[in-house]
Amino acid sequence: MRELSGWGRLPVVEGREDVAEELEPASIGARLSRGLGRSYGDASLPASSADRIVCTRRADRILHFDPASGVLRAEAGLSLQDIHRIFGPRGFASPVLTGTAYVTLGGMVASDVHGKNHHVAGTFGAHVRALRMRVADGRALEVTDESEPDLFRATQGGMGLTGHVLEVEVALERIESPWLVVETRRAEDLDALVDTLSSESRRWPHAAAWVDCTTRGRGMGRGYISLGRYAARSEAPSAPPRLRERVAVPFDLPGWVVAPWSIRVFNTAFHHLHRNTGSRIVSPQPFFHPLDFVRHWNRLYGRRGFAQYQCVLPHSSDGRNVQRFFEVLTRLGGASPVSVLKNCGPEGRGVLSFPMPGISVALDLPFRRGHTQALVDALNEVVIESGGRIYLTKDALTRPEHLRAMEPRLARFQEIRRKWDPDGRLRSALSVRLLGDAA
Amino acid sequence: MGRALARRMAARGDHLFLLGRNSEALARSARDLEARGAPPPVSWARCDLQEPEGFEDALDAADHAQAGFDALVVSAALFATQEELEADPKRRAALLAANFANTVQLCELARVRLLARGGGTLCVFSSVAGDRARKPVVLYGAAKAGLSAYLEGLDHRFRSQGLRSVTVKPGFVRTSMTEGLAAPPFAGDPDAVAARVLRAIDRGDPVVYAPPIWRAVMALVKRLPRAVLRRASF
């Protein structure tokens, strides 16, 4: 029995986590599976301290790899970091790369993760060929879009609530070189930023923007757009990129360190450091996984933790959905030190898959009792009005009625859950909070 | 730690043969190691430290697959807390047999084969718990102490004939064996331990502490007066 939490350390619960090397026996009778715990809120937490959770991180064996097709089959606990290390030198990469490489295959499926190339490559689920799962009635079965389409699609983005993922079969992307060609564009305000992000995305497979949302008035939403593509062999060094030594935050900082004033200072400095740049060759690690440069960076927020908030706002007829969102955020004094915008492409096949065409906004909100909940409520109301939705992998504070208002897909998801788990054996703290599961 | 070590060996192309209790797990681990660089096929045979009658067959299978193996790594052992072992005689007997007597039997059978070939390496995972008796690991430590003494004896008796005995003494390492126990300071990571062990195997170092700080820690613990250890909780 120990303390478990997501990456935001909000909430923290007492629970039992079985770290298993053999997932087949360990998953029998367990309520939920959990990977490396990089979801931010309560998606990977047990609903009660009596619920047994299986942690997959030591179940990381590669079962098969076909270099002709790039199809990899591995146990659910294999991490993206390991895929880089093992398959990068062989000329393959995951087709979807999240901000941190410390995620497991199972977690990538459960969140149906997306990356900077969503507008081109879709979510991780688009590249998954098959899953081996243990479902609620105890059976272990092979699940594909042909054999069990409902279960296959409900599991992608299904937050682990449809069954335990034991093995994942996914098609890796062939790359000539792991090195990247990268360019940066600076934008002086939000309109310019969103415009540049959208137009440049047509020419670059990887595109995302960092936004300063703390400055009010002119200059609000200034930031920079980061663009990238894999280098051709002729453009890149022949030596592989070194995985850099990481810095670690050894202890929790006091909660007052990351505060609105310091966030504004940081953002101003950050903005002035970035300029428009020409093409340069960079190592993939800082481009794809900036979150991993500092280990335990969540400790910067202190023991109070922080709430991550991510939503996607569809393109509106007046093109001002994003602006409206930031107006509400700044009016309510929400200050996020790290805010990321991404333009998303078409919806994936996961029943609850997060991205949809529009702009995704991701924020860190240092937790302030009373204030943060009200802020999230207000932001959710903007999202509902815009016809958008939130990313459950980041969520800790959304109210169930707000989720229901923004997610017409919930009914179908719950129907599939009930079909495969009529007795409600699988559940998480998130499913109790948001989906009406019994506590 | 055994898995981390096998993976490092695979990554540099060593020819591997696996011994273990669970056939399904061995088959999966074999495929994993092939995918990570070990020349295929990585074969395996069932071998259980609680079933010494199966040792010869397992070693035969290894010899057959590898045309005579040149190194054996024994990383398996049973673990239980002092309280569990004091309370359960059956479990105690099983642990003492597996971790000491049967491991020695396996090593003896392997040693004979290696010496017949002019030498080789016998790398066995003991523990810092065997360096000095301490309250929380009296029984577990005693078996490891016996094992460490045997391995040291092998070094004295057979090194001149080409047998290199490598005793690995891990301090606390974060593995599935220790999952759920509170990690003390200087807790090790399996991959870092594996890197040290592989270096020791290549060089034939007789004793390797991992993480290295444990050599200093145990040097201190070995010198503590009996009166202190009687009163201590560690």
The tens digit of pLDDT for each residue in A70-88 reads 999 999 999 999 999 999 9
Q: How far apart are the first and last CA of chain A?
A: 19
Average pLDDT over residues A12-31: 93
Residue tagged 């449809």 (tokens): A162
> What's the pLDDT score for residue A255?
65
Q: Give residues 8 to 27 of B whose Cβ lies within 8 Å of A.
A: 22, 24-25
Average pLDDT, stretch A57-75? 97
Using CA atoms, how far apart are residues A13 and A2, in angstroms rounded to an integer? 8
Q: Is residue A140 less than 8 Å (CB to CB) from chain B?
A: no
pLDDT at B103 over 90: yes
**Tens digits of per-residue pLDDT, A153-205?**
999 999 999 999 999 999 999 999 999 999 999 999 889 999 999 999 999 99
Residues of chain A with pLDDT > 90: what percent? Answer: 67
B169-200 b/e with 16+ CB inside 10 Å = b?
A: bbbbbbbeeeeeeeeeeeebebeebbebbbeb
Helix (H) or strand (E) holding A54, with range, is strand A52-55
Taking residues B178-186, report their average pLDDT: 79
pLDDT at A317 over 70: yes
Give the residue, A241 or B23, on which the prediction is more confident.
B23
Task: Count interface pairs A-B at CB distance under 8 A.
Answer: 28
Q: Which residues contact B49 (CB under 8 A, 6 or more apart)?
A: B76, B77, B78, B98, B99, B102, B103, B106
Q: Closest Cα to residue B49, out of B10, B86, B103?
A: B103
* Per-residue model confidence (pLDDT) at position A332: 87
Q: How do the residues of chain A divide into helix, strand and coil, expressed in percent and rounded to 5?
A: 30, 25, 45
In the 8-state DSSP scheme, what is residue A79?
Answer: B
* pLDDT reported for residue A126: 98
- Beta bridge mates, A224: A186, A210
Closest to A63 (Cβ–Cβ): which among B31, B176, B179?
B31
Reported ipTM: the value is: 0.89
Residue B198 has pLDDT above 90, yes or no: yes
Q: In angstroms, what separates the C-alpha of B167 from chain A's closest C-alpha? A: 25
Q: At what angle do helices A321-331 and A371-386 cross, to 10 degrees?
A: 160
Cβ pair B35:A21 closer than 8 A: no
Give me the pLDDT at residue A306, please: 77
CB contact under 8 A, B28 and A61: yes
Shortest Cα–Cα distance, A301 to chain B (Å): 24
* Mean pLDDT across A64-73: 97
What pLDDT does A357 receive?
Answer: 96
What value does the mean pLDDT of chain A take?
Answer: 90
Closest CA relative to residue A13, chosen from A44, A45, A43, A37: A45
Closest alpha carbon to B45 in B123, B108, B106: B106
Q: Kindly report which listed range (A182-191, A250-259, A327-336) carries the lowest average pLDDT score.
A: A250-259
Report the residue from A21, A63, A64 with minimal CB separation from B176. Answer: A21
User: What is the distance in angstroms between the Cα of B153 and the nearest Cα belonging to chain A?
Assistant: 35
Which residues face A358 on adjacent strands?
A: A314, A344
Residue A264: the pLDDT is 67
Is the peptide bond prior to B184 cis by the omega test (within 30 degrees of 0)?
no
Distances (CA, A) of A130 to A151, A167, A195, A406: 11, 8, 38, 30
CB pair distance less than 8 Å for A62 and B32? yes
State yes or no: pLDDT of B165 exceeds 80.
yes
Q: How far apart are CA A393 and CA A45, in angstroms?
A: 12
Distance from CA of A355 to the nearest CA of B (A): 33
The pLDDT confidence band at residue A267, using thresholds 50, 70 and 90, is low
Work out the pLDDT band at B124, boundaries 50, 70, 90.
very high
Output the pLDDT for position A249.
67
Inter-chain touch B179–A65, beta carbons under 8 Å: no
Q: Which CATH architecture has domain A62-175?
A: 2-Layer Sandwich (3.30)
pLDDT, position A269: 67
B160 and chain A in contact, CB less than 8 A: no
**A270 — pLDDT class (breaks 50, 70, 90):** low
**pLDDT higher at B84 or A257:** B84
Over residues A50-66, mean pLDDT: 96
Q: Look at residue A287 and tell me whether its pLDDT is greater than 70.
A: yes
Per-residue pLDDT at A250 exceeds 90? no
Q: Are A362 and A309 in contact (CB under 8 A)?
A: yes
* Confidence grade of residue A292 (pLDDT, cut at 50, 70, 90): confident
Which residues, other chains included, contact B192 with Cβ-Cβ below 8 Å and sequence gap of 6+? B210, B211
Q: If pLDDT is split at 50, 70 and 90, which confidence band does A222 have? A: confident
pTM of the predicted protein model: 0.91
Tell me whether residues A58 and B176 touch, CB distance under 8 A. yes
CA Rg value for chain A: 21
Nearest by CB to A64, from B22, B25, B31: name it: B31
Q: Which two tokens stand for residue A92?
A: 């393959």
Q: Which two tokens stand for residue B128?
A: 């810092």
Domains along the sequence of chain B with CATH: 71-231 (3.40.50.720)
Out of 3.90.660, 3.30.450, 3.40.462, 3.40.50, the CATH code matching A180-404 is 3.40.462
**CA–CA separation, B214 vs B210, rounded Å?**
7
Q: Find the range with the poorest average confidence among A71-75, A129-133, A327-331, B225-229.
A: A327-331
The answer to whether residue A421 scores a pLDDT higher than 60 is: yes
DSSP string of A84-95, one letter each residue: HHHHGGGTEE-S
In this predicted structure, what is the pLDDT of residue B213? Answer: 93
> What angle do helix axes B103-116 and B55-66 make, rounded to 10 degrees?
40
Q: What pLDDT, on a 0 to 100 scale, did the predictor assign at position A245?
A: 56
Question: Counting Cβ atoms within 10 Å, is residue B27 exposed (0-12), middle (13-18) or buried (19+)?
Answer: middle
What pLDDT shows up at residue A146?
A: 97
Rounded (10°) CA dihedral B110, B114, B117, B120: 150
- Please tell me which residue of chain A has the smallest CA distance to B24: A22
pLDDT bin (cut points 50, 70, 90) of residue A295 is low
pLDDT band at A110 (very low <50, low <70, confident <90, very high): very high
CA–chain centroid gap for A215, Å, is 26
Where in chain A do CATH 3.30.465.10 domains reside? 62-175
> Percentage of chain B surpassing pLDDT 90?
91
pLDDT of residue A307: 83
H or E segment at A151?
helix A149-155
For helices A321-331 and A190-201, the axis angle rounded to 10 degrees is 140
* Beta bridge mates, A389: A312
State which amino acid sits at residue A319. Answer: G
- CATH 3.40.462 in chain A: give the residue spans: 180-404
Task: Return the pLDDT at A247.
Answer: 63
